Amino acid sequence: MKTKNICDLARTVRSKNAGSFMITLEIIFSDRSIYEKVKQSGVVTQEAIARAYDVPTEKVLDFMFFDPGMGIKANIRRSIASGGPSETDVYGCQQYAPLFSLEVPWDE
């Protein structure tokens, strides 16, 4: 079966600070049918995000599909507190790239 990368399906893939110890990850869609197909595929899960970030599943918190906004959201526990020694992204806005590894089965 063919696949499509999440970047080709989503309008926005982003990360942002969620306090001193968390980063929020968001995948947002502009088309309801695409959002529903991705949701039903079972590809984007708490476990898939953990694999993409090479962290234990327990570090991926609050995973959810937000139907009214056609989005997928999760929080991931930071390994170093925001602004802490050797931390490199205080705002958490550069932490989305591992989500690019998500491939969704796609027939066309």
- Evaluate whether 95 touches 25 at the Cβ level (below 8 Å): yes
Phi, psi of 77 (to 5 degrees): -70, 130
Burial of 55 (0-12, 13-18, 19+ CB in 10 A): middle
What's the pTM value of the predicted model, to 2 decimals? 0.92
pLDDT by residue (tens digit) across 76-86?
998 888 888 88
Taking alpha carbons only, the member of 66, 84, 58, 78 closest to residue 12 is 66
Residue spans of the domains in the chain: they are 3-86
Place of tokens 């327990």: 58
Average pLDDT over residues 26-30: 98
